[in-house]
Structure 1
Amino acid sequence: MSEPCVFCDINTGRAPATFVHEWADALAITPLNPVVEGHVLVIPKTHVADFTEDPDVSAVTARRAGQLAADMGPCNLITSRGREATQSVFHLHMHVVPRAAGDGLALPWYSGKRG
């Protein structure tokens, strides 16, 4: 890894974060700008750029996100690969986003069309 990584810095204590949960292999933190109350990022402690780089790390991260979301009720699990797909931090992270009827949150691929 040649460029600085904010999630690696959080993992090693060099950058601050609000921790929701920590496992031996992953962290759950509150993002800087949560889109709804309860929005959490699940981040592997191993640096991988996205979910394609190491499927085993991706699977562990998804398992931790599932454990965290188990008591949450309706939610989305979202991850991205590449700038064009809205990835802004190039360290795998999964958004666990609680949902409620009428929360007004449209996903990035919402076209506005019904049916």
Structure 2
Amino acid sequence: MTALPCVFCDIVAGLAPAEVLARWSDAIAIVPLYPVADQHALIVPRVHVDGPAEDPMVTGMVFQRAAEYASATCLPFNLVISEGAEATQTVRHAHAHFIPRAAGDGLPLPWTPQQTAA
């Protein structure tokens, strides 16, 4: 667990602004600052854990809430969760990205052939 300020903890506590899309007793769904697709959402647990490996029960709950959220959209989607900066985690508070997809949307995943080398 981190002692550093956490923007997701502030959002959950109502101390920072966010567009909340769904609420559960243990998580919220919000619009990310920089959505990569229409209807991109973050599923954020109300309890702080730095990353998904820290508490597998919280991670499982996040995926359950993300699946519930996704089932209401009837869209094809990716569900992405990252652990560590090297894996693109930018906020040290476990969360999942619900990313709707469409044929030809041009949105690559890090391991897909359309990803260009840096």
**TM-score interval, normalised by the smaller of the two chains:** over 0.9
2:96 pairs with 89, 94, 97, which one?
94
Cα RMSD over matched residues? Answer: 1.2
Give the Cα–Cα distance (whole angstroms) in 2 for the partners of residues 82 and 109 of structure 1.
Answer: 17
Give the Cα–Cα distance (whole angstroms) in 1 for the partners of residues 114 and 35 of structure 2.
Answer: 23
Match of 1:10 in 2: 11
Q: What is the CA distance between 1:71 and its match in structure 2?
A: 3.1
User: How many aligned residue pairs are there?
Assistant: 113
Q: What is the CA distance between 1:108 and its match in structure 2?
A: 1.9
Letter paired with 1:99: R
Give the Cα–Cα distance (whole angstroms) in 2 for the partners of residues 111 and 79 of structure 1.
Answer: 20
Q: What is the CA distance between 1:112 and its match in structure 2?
A: 3.5
Match of 2:111 in 1: 109
Letter paired with 1:22: R
Write out per-residue CA displacement over residues 2-24 of structure 1, whole angstroms, 9 at most, x where no aligned residue: 10000000000110000000100
Give the Cα–Cα distance (whole angstroms) in 2 for the partners of residues 90 and 27 of structure 1.
Answer: 16
Shift >4 Å, 4+ stretches: none
Q: TM-score, normalised by structure 2?
A: 0.92
1:80 pairs with 69, 79, 82, which one?
82
Q: TM-score, normalised by structure 1?
A: 0.94
